[in-house]
Amino acid sequence: MLFENQRVTPSVSGAGEFMKAALEGAEAIVLAQSSMEELVKVHKICRRRPGMKLLLHLDSMKGLSKTPEAVSFLAGYIKPDALITSSPQAAVEARRHGITSVLRCFAFDEESIDSSLKLIERANPDYVQVVPGVIPVTIRLMRAKTGLPVLAGGLIRTDADVCRAEKAGATGITSSCPDLWQAAYVSRAKRS
């Protein structure tokens, strides 16, 4: 239940943004486009905030590769709650270590969707992230073909984008747009 309790999951690139999102009410946060130094800082923040969920975008981390060895290192030392990757091998390794796996799929035409479905079959992830997340038909199609929860990510910049992804059946939405994070916390508070 990493994505279901939060309308939009923040995607941040450093400890400062991570802390800001946490203080504004985020329960789960994606760390992407970041360095090992920032990862260590974020790990310390998470240790001090029980219940905070670290979702790590492996492919975009500087200094880490998408190898089983990198996943084993992360599982042993950082212990992220989820690993987002386009690598089926890394997704399999994450699950082997008890880390929620999110297979990131670039789906923009028939060929890329067919290729993504083959990767999903190999990886057997917990979630599929569809990129770009602004194409509702792709979200519906991936959900129907895989039976897995689908996340929408990439190019989600407006509340209208969020609404379209939700209506298409996205289980969760990730975005690097801070305006959407705040709206998500307000929306969650109103539903409670």
Instruction: Read off the pLDDT band of 4 (50, 70, 90).
Output: confident
**pLDDT tens per residue, range 150-191:** 999 999 999 999 999 999 999 999 999 999 987 655 555 555
CB half-sphere exposure, 91, CA atoms < 13 A: 21
> What are 25-29's contacts with CB under 8 Å, separation 24+?
25/185, 25/188, 25/189, 26/181, 26/185, 27/51, 27/52, 27/53, 28/2, 28/3, 28/52, 28/53, 28/55, 28/81, 28/82, 29/53, 29/54, 29/55
Question: Is the per-residue pLDDT at 10 higher than 60?
Answer: yes
Q: How far is CA 72 from the centre of its chain?
A: 19
What is the model's pLDDT at position 156? Answer: 97
Instruction: Read off the pLDDT band of 17 (50, 70, 90).
Output: very high
What is the model's pLDDT at position 167? Answer: 97
